[in-house]
Chains A and B, each alone.
Chain A
């Protein structure tokens, strides 16, 4: 059934006929309206739509439970469970709530909205976003890099760097890491050595591994080519080194199982080139880099003070309401290791919780890698086949030739 909210039932289903007959024959009108309600269940995607409504409602309910100051006891069913709990468990639960849950909540509505956005994001596929990355050049100026993000099902995504500075995009990417256990992933500058450029000569940043190999080389890696080393030195001295080299753009993504990266030279790099670390690990941090939205979202719930901003003040252009959440990095938050943005502003559709815009801002004084801001703007829905998320789909013919 079409779900155009701006349209009335009468316009859509012709139920105004029922209204016209209502005064003369209320019984007939109510019969027709009852049938109308039942017929509306026969639509092709109706079950999916209804279960999505249930899921959203349950998300709010679960968020309320998580937000309540006392252990949840509001229901008959819940009370039965509660009575089984020993006093010791109750005290432990209270302690856990006070230590873990309550400090992170600015207000419950914000948390509920945030939870809904995170849940909705997991099931939302076929979305395109424009990403604008602003990185500081010096104290007073910034430069912008643009990219597009395509999100598919099952953790698939493609980020296409379309304009600007690939190095800045790579710097942003290095801020991401695991949303679940942020501390567990080596920081990029730890891996490369502090102060080193996060981009390797061929743009293969993802291929870097921790500096624990003898002589700074990866296992099985051939000694570095002196010419490549010279190119790297030249590149690091070139004031235009952040320009996208060659005619192509850099693209990276995940096909649902494996991450891949295509350097501007056109060379496709997969885990065998990148090192095992870049391959998604089951149950850990696959696809959670900051440019894929998920890393930031995953951290918002645990390291930020979220506040609900007036939702009705600025509805969407089509009149549908939006929810706005502003999240400030909690002082002393350890989850971001100083790398996460100091402020994140989220704007989402109030009905579907689809992210319309997300703006992450870093404090210039403490910004890692001079990152200033990353903005995601929804471009629209764009269903892609699974093939689109395979690196081979983005490999240019010339690069294929050169590979062979």
Chain B
């Protein structure tokens, strides 16, 4: 098998994880798209530097993070004093999820699906409208009969509830003190 074909397989195994990581970090889908592409190309060019004794996922995320920071220079979402904390925390959560049992990252999402199913009905509806059906908050709020502001708060609480559920299943790191 050719080296690029092996790399292709390796990358496909980690593509869901990389997407989840970038979506957590980036502020727009176009940025996610750009960084995703550039991360893979950079990883290929620097494959000589990869230590094969170590897992591929964290190495790929490291490249993604550096690429994202260089692309989004001056556009970070948070004040600089908390940015590093939040970004490293996201990396930890994705890492924790990535090391869960399961052949693929998709398998590891079964805990998340289970947590979604356990959400309170109004929270589950909010998650369904946005993430499964793909509506934007404006239309989802209308569909739920709420103001957009109220809907956003509900969605935020739903995500926090899911984080707690994932933590209880050992998929997320413990809350920082």
Contacts and interface: CB of A to CB of B under 8 A. Distances in A.
Interface of A: 1-14, 16-19, 21-23, 26-44, 46-47, 50-51, 53-54, 56-58, 60-62, 64-65, 72, 74-81, 351
Task: Name the residue among B24, B132, B134 with the largest chain A CB count within 10 angstroms.
Answer: B24
Interface of B: 2-4, 6-8, 11-12, 15-16, 19-30, 33, 36-37, 40-41, 44-45, 47-48, 50, 52, 77-79, 82, 85-87, 89-90, 93-94, 97, 106, 109, 112-113, 116, 127, 130-132, 134-137, 151-153, 155-156, 159-160, 162-163, 166, 172, 175-176
A54 B109 CA distance: 20
B29 A72 contact: no
A29 B37 CA distance: 27
A18 B156 contact: yes
Given A17-B155, A34-B172, A62 B4 contact: yes
A11 to B, nearest CB: 7
B136 A7 contact: yes
A31 B112 contact: no
Contact of A5 (B12, B30, B93): B30
A35 B28 contact: no
Given A30-B89, A34-B172, A40 B23 contact: yes
A47 to B, nearest CB: 8
A54 B11 contact: yes
- If over half of A's interface residues share one DSSP class (helix, strand or loop), that class is named, otherwise mixed; here it is helix
B15 A51 contact: yes
A39 B28 contact: no
B41 A9 contact: no
Given A4-B29, A41-B19, A58-B4, A34 B136 contact: no
B4 A53 contact: no
A275 B77 CA distance: 65
A321 B33 CA distance: 13
Contacts, number: 217
A17 B130 CA distance: 15
B166 to A, nearest CB: 7
A257 B130 CA distance: 41
B155 A75 contact: no
Given A7-B136, A77-B3, A37 B155 contact: no
A28 B136 CA distance: 23
6 nearest CB pairs, A to B: A37-B24, A75-B47, A5-B30, A78-B3, A14-B152, A30-B89
Given A5-B30, A58-B4, A77-B6, A39 B136 contact: no
Contacts of B116: 39, 42
A63 B157 CA distance: 46
Contacts of B162: 35, 39
A29 B87 CA distance: 10
Contacts of A53: 15, 19, 33, 36-37
Nearest to A28: B160
Contacts of B79: 22-23
Contacts of A9: 23, 26-29
Contacts of A14: 130, 137, 151-152, 155-156
A80 B52 CA distance: 13
A108 to B, nearest CB: 13
B37 A38 contact: no
